[in-house]
Amino acid sequence: MEEGAWGNFSRGAVLALQKKGYKLSQGITGFLEGSAGFEGCGVSSSAAVGVAFLLALESANGLKVTAEDNIELDRLFLSCLDSGLTIDLKCVILQNGLWLDFKMTLKLIKIRLIENEYLGLKNGILDQSAILLSQRHSLTAIHCERRMYELVQPPWYGKNEGDYKILLAFSGLQHALSSKPGYNLRVAECQEAATVLLRAVGRGDCEPLLCNVSVDEYEAHKDLLEGELAKRALHFFSENARVFAGIDAWSQGNLPEFGRLISQSGLSSIHNYECGCEPLVQLRDILAQAPGVYGARFSGAGFRGCCVALVATDLAGEAEKYVRAKYLNAQPDLAKRLTTATFVCDSADHAHVV
C-alpha cells in the first residue's frame, strides 16, 4: 500500500461487507490516533486500522456478524474483486453523527480479508488474533489452521504485574510490506518447499502448506530441499518447536527461558527466513545486549523497521538509554531523524470499545 493511503482500509471494509450482502446505509466519522513517532514502523498498525473501520461500520449500521461469516469473508474476498462489485462510497462519508473511541474488539478474521486481497498482502491471522483475542499478562497461543486459541497464564496472573515490560525500538526505516516482493516471496517459497515434501510422502494433491507436513515427514525428507527452500522450512519447523517451548516457559513464569526463545526466533528470522536489513539486524542485536533484556526479535515479519524486547521492569529505563546510545553510534543518520526511538509499554487486554 502506498504511503498515506489508509483510506484503502475503509474501502476494503465496505467492499467486504457489501459482498457478503450487508446493507450499509450509515457512514462514519472519527479519527485514528497512535503513539507519536512510530508511524509505519511495523507494529500491526494496518490490522488495527482495519479492525477500527470494520467495527465502526458495523456499529453505525447495526450489523451483527458471526465468526463463521468473518471466516467466509476472508476466503471470498478475491471473488468480489473479480466480479467488479462497485463500492458505494457514500458508506464512508458522514451521514449522521457517530463517535467511537477506537479501542475496540471485533470477531476474528475479517480484517485479514482486507489485507490479503484488497491490499495484496499475503499475511496470516497473527496480527489480528493478537489484537482481538489477547488478555493482559497472558500468552495467546493460536492454532491458525483450526482457528482455535488458548490464553496461557503465568503463575503470577491475578497476583502481581510480573517482572517484565515490553520495549519497542524503531530503526527509522519505513515501507509497506506489500510494496516490495520480500514478504509475499517468502510465502511462495514456503509453499514451494511444502510441495516438494508433500510429493515425497505421496500427498502431492494436498494444499501446499508446511502445516500439512508432519515433523517426522520433514525430518525424513528435508534433504530434498535446497537453498532458500531448505532455510524457509527449517525456520517454519524450528519456530513451531519454539512456540510450544515458549508456552511451557510462560506457564511456568520462566522469563529468562522465554526470552531466550524470543532471541532464537529472531536469529532464525534473520538467518533462515532472511528477513530484515543491516539497520534492523543491528538494532535487534543492540536490544538483545541491553541491560535487563530477556530476549529480542523483529516485530512482525521483519520487513519494517521495529524490534521488540522483553525486559525486566526495574531495568527498562536503563535499557532504553542503552539502545538509543548504541543505535545512534551504529546508524547516526537514521537515529537522528527519529522523534521517538524507544517506547516502553505493558501488556493489555484485547481491543475493545470503551
Which residues form the catalytic set?
Answer: 127
Q: First-to-last CA distance in the chain? A: 30
Backbone angles phi, psi at 285, to 5 degrees: -65, -40
Rg of the chain over Cα atoms, rounded to whole angstroms, equals: 21
Q: How far is residue 307's CA from residue 300's CA, in Å, rounded to a whole number?
A: 8
Residue with cell 533462515: 272
Q: How far is residue 116's CA from residue 125's CA, in Å, rounded to a whole number?
A: 10
Q: How far is residue 91's CA from residue 61's CA, in Å, rounded to a whole number?
A: 10
Q: How far is residue 247's CA from residue 234's CA, in Å, rounded to a whole number?
A: 20
Residue with cell 463517535: 99
SS3 at position 307: strand
Cell triple for 12: 476494503
* Sequence-ordered list of residues with C-beta below 8 angstroms from that of 84, at least 6 positions apart, any chain: none
Q: How far is residue 15's CA from residue 89's CA, in Å, rounded to a whole number?
A: 10
Buried b (16+ CB within 10 A) or exposed e, 71-105: bebbeebeebeeeeeebeeebbeeeeeeebebebe
